[in-house]
Structure 1
């Protein structure tokens, strides 16, 4: 469970985003919340987040409880990905080179050839510097 400070902040965000004040967020309200907080999230990702936050009920609205639960899951995922990244950043450079990235892939249980790993690296490395930053690692993992 997230700390009280996070829950308070998330509750404030939720209430601000609930523009029609019905106690839940619709897809458009979630989209505006993300946009207002500087996120440039593609519509397909917003839809995915909405569906995953909406939970088992699938009632096309996100309650405060679902919102907090969803953000807690994201927070946990970020912690886990950061831990994996730092574990494999052997030289503490702040990025993963091809060898370090290959170790992540192999430890994750994927059976990929060296060429397949190179190809994947190129796909998730938008600036083609053969270095995976933490941000690029997050983007590739979502």
Structure 2
């Protein structure tokens, strides 16, 4: 992969310029199509790997990535460890499949109703509202994939 040139020494302005290259509509965010183009074309990820990263980068489940989120991620210690470690990648891929199964409206987040369906189908008999509130760490009324992944506790 061609991702080794992103490290702590690369100035933010370079990363933001790289980001802007793919922000085709000048919205200040990368949507799914724009992010896919960036991750596949310049960073060399496969389509399947891109799908996983789209969910991982969308911290709030709003289906878009800001330049600050993108810059922070490139500077993080993650360093594409999800795709470089086959067992972690497999678990995250399975988590994405499960998440998509219950994200019935395709919003890239799980609503309280969708979460209740998930718990019911898994046989849980709990206070659904309290469970939902516990997972919705940012309090935005939905469960993003990172919040879901943390709840699953499948990936160290």
Give the TM interval when normalised to the shorter protein.
0.3 to 0.5
Higher RCO (C-alpha under 8 Å, 6+ residues apart): 2
Name which one, 1 or 2, has greater alpha-carbon Rg: 1
TM-score normalised by structure 2 residue count: 0.43
TM-score normalised by structure 1 residue count: 0.47
Judging by fraction of residues, say which structure has more helix.
1
